[in-house]
Each structure stands twice: as C-alpha cells, then as structure tokens.
Amino acid sequence: MIGDVLLRRLQLIGELDDQDRRALLDIRGERRSLRPGEDCLMEGDRPTESVVVLAGLLQRYKLVPQGGRQVHAFYLAGETPSLETIPMEVMDNNLAAVSASEIGAISHAELNRVMEARPRVRMLIWRETLIQGAMFREWLTRNSRLLAHEQLAHFFCEMMTRARAAGVARGDSCELPISQQDLAEALGLAPVHVNRTLQILQASDLLSFRGGVLTVPDLDRLAEAAQFDPTYLHLAGPSGVRRPQ
Amino acid sequence: MNKKDRRRRPHLVVCADVSPRASMPRYFFNLHEADGIAEDPEGSEFPDILAARREAIAGARSIIKDGAGRGIVDLTGWIEVVDADGQPVLTVPFVEAVKLRLPG
C-alpha cells in the first residue's frame, strides 16, 4: 500500500521498469493517523523517515514571528511531501495535517537501499524533490505578481490538476478540506479578502468551493483566468511528454 | 501555541489536539461594498475583540491594496464584525483603516 503510493507518484513524473516497480512495491513502511492540525514534522526535527499521504490533506508551513503562519504547500492523498528529508538533515519548516489524515512513513534506510539498487528510482525521487522546488517558485510568483482573483484561480487550477493526476478527483470535483483561513495563509491575503474574491469567482461560475469540495466545471476557462500553465508540475506520460489537460 | 512546548514532542507521534485557537471566541467578518455584501461563512477565532479589530483592519487594507493594484482606491466599503450569536460587535470603515495623504 505505502510502496504502491510512492510508485504511483513516481510514475506520474517519469518511467520505471518492472524491477524498479517491484523494488518500490516491496517497501513496507508504517501507517499512521494524524488528527486535524497535528504536526507530523517540525522545525528543528531530524527526520529518519519520509512520508507519503494515504488519505486526507497535509500542509507545509512556517510560523511568522508576528503571529500567524505562511503556508507553503498542501499535499493531497497520493503525494509525497518529505522526500527532501533523505539528504537534508534538519527540518526548516513544519509539516502538519489539515484534516484527519493517514500517512505512510518509510525509513530513509529503506529508501536508500531501494535507490542504491535502482538508479532510475533514485533519479525520479531526485526529480520529485526538484518538482517541489518548481512548485515553491510558482507559489512565490503567484503570491507576489498576480491579482487576488488570479491568485485564487491559479491555486484552484493547481489543486484540481494535481487531484486529477493523483487520481483523487471525482469528475470535475475534488475534496479540498481547507478553510478560508488556510487559503489566506497560503496566498498571503487577509481572510476577508479571500472570502470576497472567492465570491466573485463563484459568481462568474468559474468554480465553486463549498464545504471543503472544489468544483471546476471548465478547467481550461479557469486556467485562462489564472494565467495557469501546468508545466511546472512536470506531470509526464509514459513517453515523458506532458499530458494534455 | 507555544513553539518550545510543541518541539518537545517527537515527530510522527499521535498526540492531543494542538489547535492553537481551541477555546477562543469566533468572529465573522462581513464585507460591505457598493456592489454588495460578502458574508463570512466560517469566521475566525481571536482571543479578544481588539485582535478581531486588527484582523478587520488588515482585511480592509488587503482589499484597498488590491484595488490600488487595479488603479482604483475605493474607500466606501466597511467591514462589520459579528459575534457567534450574530450580534454586530464593531465596524471598521475602510477610511479608518488607512491614513490618507493627498496633494495640496
């Protein structure tokens, strides 16, 4: 189950052969539950395991000295938030559950064994951590360069695209159990501003976001409003060519 | 939430609820503008009404800044803060959220 989730994520970003797949499926790991808001990794921690999300939603954040937080990323079921802790010694940010979540923890020792035996797996794990970097760059650009309605539209485009890739979207909807406060902390906007902007987007039928469910009837149309280009997600088909949206 | 206390916990261990805002009153921030009202559907928790007022001011400034980015400074709106019982507890007009300096 845990190795299977890692395998599926890596196959979204590149090719693996049968032996690579078997090595990943042999990974056992340990399943754990997280309560809403519970920290999984914290600043200053020295992790000896990496995490895959089995169910729920995780977030990466940093506390701001004046109070409040900056959220840097959300992680859906099927995604792999902390592979960078394999080569990195100390956590410089926090990883926490947004809603009740299930995670799989895989020891670095086990991951290192697989990577030593299977160079292609090593390369894709490296690529995965670099994609996370590409996503942080996109979030920086979005938060500092786009208008509020474009920021929200961009954020929802990304989450819907990732939910589809991870196989957790249902039709044109996906579960996204975040509050407007969480959204505000991700976008660097005040919650009241997020609420107003969300209502404008909903009034124009670009999306609906209610009760923790995101619905995007026309992703292309939302992508246009958001100036969203999914290249930075580096989602590749088996041939390495980007999948059409 | 005390960061030092939290750090004592080993990572990846199930523990008690760590929600920082567990027992604080909830306030709702309804935005009133010329073209309509955006009601706050979920509210946020703050230790006291002063903190809620600071949040309302930050909200007004965030919206004013957004307008300025589009070339419009519109100070006609206001934020009405309502408590969990639906009672209005304070109002922050946009004009009170910023200091205006005009030429002349």
pLDDT tens by residue, A154-209 = 999 999 999 999 999 999 999 999 999 999 999 999 999 999 999 999 999 999 99
CA A214 remoteness from chain centre? 15
Distance (Å, whole) CA B15 – CA B5? 13
Taking CB atoms and an 8 Å limit, are A196 and B38 in contact across chains?
Answer: yes
**Which among B11, B62, B69 has the least Cβ separation from residue A41?**
B11
* Per-residue tokens: A237: 């088909």
CA atoms within 13 A on the CB side of A224: 4
State yes or no: pLDDT of A13 exceeds 90. Answer: yes
Return the residue matching tokens 């086990």: A110
Answer whether B66 touches A (CB < 8 Å). yes
pLDDT at position B69 is: 87
Q: What is the pLDDT of residue A1?
A: 86
Question: Distance (Å) from the C-alpha of residue A51 to the closest C-alpha of chain B?
Answer: 9
> Which phi and psi (to 5°) does residue A95 adopt?
-125, 125
Q: What is the per-residue pLDDT across A29-80, written as a single tens digit (0 to 9) for each?
A: 999 999 999 999 999 999 999 999 999 999 999 999 888 899 999 999 999 9
CB A28 within 8 A of CB A2: yes
Q: What pLDDT is recorded for position A234?
A: 96
Q: Does residue B73 or residue B4 have the better pLDDT?
A: B73
Residue A128 C-alpha, separation from nearest chain B C-alpha, in angstroms: 22
What is the ipTM metric for this complex? 0.77
Phi, psi of A237 (to 5 degrees): -80, 180
Q: Is residue B40 less than 8 Å (CB to CB) from chain A?
A: yes
pLDDT band at B18; cut points 50, 70, 90 = very low
Sequential DSSP letters for A2-53: HHHHHHHHHHHHS---HHHHHHHHT---EEEEE-TT-EEE-TT---SEEEEE
Amino acid at residue number B43: G
Alpha carbon dihedral A71, A73, A79, A81, in 10-degree steps, equals -70
Cβ separation of B62 and A37 shorter than 8 Å?
no
Residue B88's DSSP bridge partners are: B82
The predicted-structure confidence for A136-166, as pLDDT tens digits, reads as follows 999 999 999 999 999 999 999 999 999 999 9
Measured distance CA(A49)–CA(A164) in Å, rounded = 27
Mean of per-residue pLDDT scores for chain A: 94
Residue A200 near residue B70, CB atoms below 8 Å = no
For residue A118, name the pLDDT band (cuts at 50, 70, 90). Answer: very high
Q: Which of B2, B42, B26 is nearest to A63 (CA)?
A: B2
Helix H or strand E encompassing A174: strand A173-175
- Look at residue B104 in the predicted model and tell me its pLDDT: 87
Q: What is the mean pLDDT of residues B22-37?
A: 91
Contacts of A137 (CB under 8 A, 6+ apart): A232
Per cent of chain A over pLDDT 70 is 96
Distance (Å, whole) CA A223 – CA A175: 19
| pLDDT above 80: residue A244 | no
Q: What are the Cα distances from residue A231, in Å, to A40, A107, A161, B102?
A: 30, 31, 11, 45
Q: In this complex, do B61 and A190 lie within 8 Å of one another by their Cβ atoms? A: yes
User: Please, what's the b/e burial string for A83-104 (b: 16 or more CB within 10 A of its CB; e: otherwise)?
Assistant: bbbbeeeebeebbbbbbebbbb
Minimum-distance CB partner of B3 among A45, A47, A63: A63
pLDDT on residue A144: 93
- Polymer length in residues for chain B: 104
Sign of CA dihedral A1, A18, A11, A45: positive
End-to-end CA distance of chain B: 48
pLDDT, residue B22, reads 56
> Is A89 a residue whose pLDDT tops 60?
yes
Both structure tokens of A110: 């086990």
Tell which residue, B36, B73, B94, B43, has the closest CA to residue A200: B36
Quick one: pLDDT band at residue B7, thresholds 50, 70, 90? very low
Q: What is the pTM of this model?
A: 0.88
Kindly state the tokens that stand for A38.
């519970």
